[in-house]
Structure 1
Amino acid sequence: MNVLIVGANGQIGQHLVDVLKEEGKHTPVAFVRKEEQVKQFEDKGVEARLGNLEESVSSIKEQMSDIDAVVFTAGSGGSTGYDKTLLIDLDGAVKTVEATKASGIDRFVMVSAFQADDRDKWNEDMKPYFVAKHFADMWLMDSSLNYTVIRPGLLENEDSIGTVLASDSMTDPDSYSIPRVDVAKVIAASLDNEATYKQSFDLVTGKDNIKDALNKL
């Protein structure tokens, strides 16, 4: 599959590009918002397409030709205000879902936030961020797309551990964190794993290898 990675220049996105290239099963296509980022990916032998999540659905759709699956791993980042959280994490995600449907693409993987489905678990200081993630996820799940929503725990820049816990009803896990590279590996493994189709789940470091963890969903 040709996989469009929206937010490919982010930390998870960059890991996902590398994982897909290394595995060789699917072809990563980077969706980025700056010309210099296009060149950086092209220098690595990765096709890159220029787009902006604050533009129209039709302009996003223009970057989806010859794409078989879409991964949304974009985010406004911690240094921006909640206006950008609304525009990128919520509306940008919704517009990407709409563009995917309009393009006739069925497969969509969303990177969300740990326990974004449960309002009672939201951090008070980050509540607007969780609201954005919550309703973007709902929009995707209410669409006709073949979705997977992955809600990773605290993201760490550590080496891959390679074992995870994936569950739609996680209570008192051994860990509440996960390396970004392992999130990328789970995304890659989810793309054509039918056990993840029409599923949403929290994801942290655990004891199962990735394939076994996903097959338990």
Structure 2
Amino acid sequence: MKVLVVGANGQIGKHLVQLLHSSSEYSVKAMVRTQEQVKELHNSGIDAVMANLEGTVEELVEAVRGCDAIVFTAGSGGHTGADKTLLIDLDGAVKTIEAAERENITRYMMVSALQANNRENWNEQLKPYYVAKHYADKMLIQSSLNYTIIRPGGLINEQGTGHIDVGGNLSRTTIPREDVARTIYACLSNKKTYKQSFDLVAGDKPINEALNQISS
């Protein structure tokens, strides 16, 4: 299975690209924003493509071509305004969903945000971000794609433990970015996670054990 990582130069994306690159089960194509990033990845032996989430769907179709799955880990970042949040986290995500459908790529994984599905639990200081995530997730659920939506808690850069908790309404706690990437990796071919959405935080269960307890 060849996996396109959208946002491959982000912190979660970098972890995931390395996991996929070192895997015997998957191959990876990294989608980044600059030619310098493409060159750096190529020098490491990693397939990469330059594409802009603010570009056209047709351009994104070219980027996703040849892949079997897409993981959306991109984000506008904490230092941009609400306009970029809408253009990247909402419209950019939806355009990759449309590109996947055009290319008959059925497996799609979205990195969302804790409780993005529940307006009553949104972080008021990040409301435009939560609005974008909420509606991007809705569009994915309504698409024809075989989706998994992962809603991680507060992202930290501590070393991963390989232990998580998943559920529909978890407390607002944290999780290492490394463990988010490991969870994405574990979900790719795990049919228990198909057509599922769940919160994700650090916990006491090994990743595969936690995922296998997800109920249909």
**TM above 0.5, one fold?**
yes
Whether 1:202 and 2:171 are equivalent positions in the alignment is: no
Secondary structure, counterpart of 1:147 in structure 2: strand
Secondary structure, counterpart of 1:79 in structure 2: coil
Secondary structure, counterpart of 1:83 in structure 2: helix
Aligned positions of 1:102-141 closer than 5 A:
102-141=102-141
Secondary structure, counterpart of 2:9 in structure 1: coil
Secondary structure, counterpart of 2:135 in structure 1: helix
Bigger Cα displacement from structure 2, 126-135 vs 23-32: 23-32
1:141-171 CA-to-partner distances (Å, cap 9, x unmatched) read 010100000000000001111100011232x
Aligned positions of 1:61-210 closer than 5 A:
61-170=61-170, 172=171, 176-210=173-207
Report the residue type matching 1:190 in the other structure. C
**In 2, distance between residues paired with 1:74 and 1:169?**
24
**In 2, distance between residues paired with 1:67 and 1:95?**
16
**In 2, distance between residues paired with 1:41 and 1:24?**
19
**In 2, distance between residues paired with 1:168 and 1:26?**
29
**In 1, distance between residues paired with 2:63 and 2:124?**
37
Q: CA deviation at 1:21?
A: 2.1
**In 2, distance between residues paired with 1:44 and 1:153?**
31
CA RMSD in angstroms comes to 0.9
- 2:20 corresponds in structure 1 to 20
1:161-182 CA-to-partner distances (Å, cap 9, x unmatched) read 1100011232x4xx71000000
**In 1, distance between residues paired with 2:58 and 2:126?**
31
Q: CA deviation at 1:123?
A: 1.2
Aligned pairs, number: 214
**In 2, distance between residues paired with 1:96 and 1:22?**
25
Secondary structure, counterpart of 1:23 in structure 2: coil
1:175-204 CA-to-partner distances (Å, cap 9, x unmatched) read 710000000000000000000000000000
Secondary structure, counterpart of 1:70 in structure 2: strand
Report the residue type matching 1:69 in the other structure. A
Identity in percent: 55
Report the residue type matching 1:87 in the other structure. L
Bigger Cα displacement from structure 2, 175-184 vs 17-26: 17-26
- Return the TM-score normalized by structure 2: 0.97
Report the residue type matching 2:3 in the other structure. V
Structure 2 gaps, min length 5 = none
Secondary structure, counterpart of 1:38 in structure 2: helix
Runs of 4+ in 1 over 6 A off after TM superposition: none
- Return the TM-score normalized by structure 1: 0.97
Q: CA deviation at 1:19?
A: 1.3
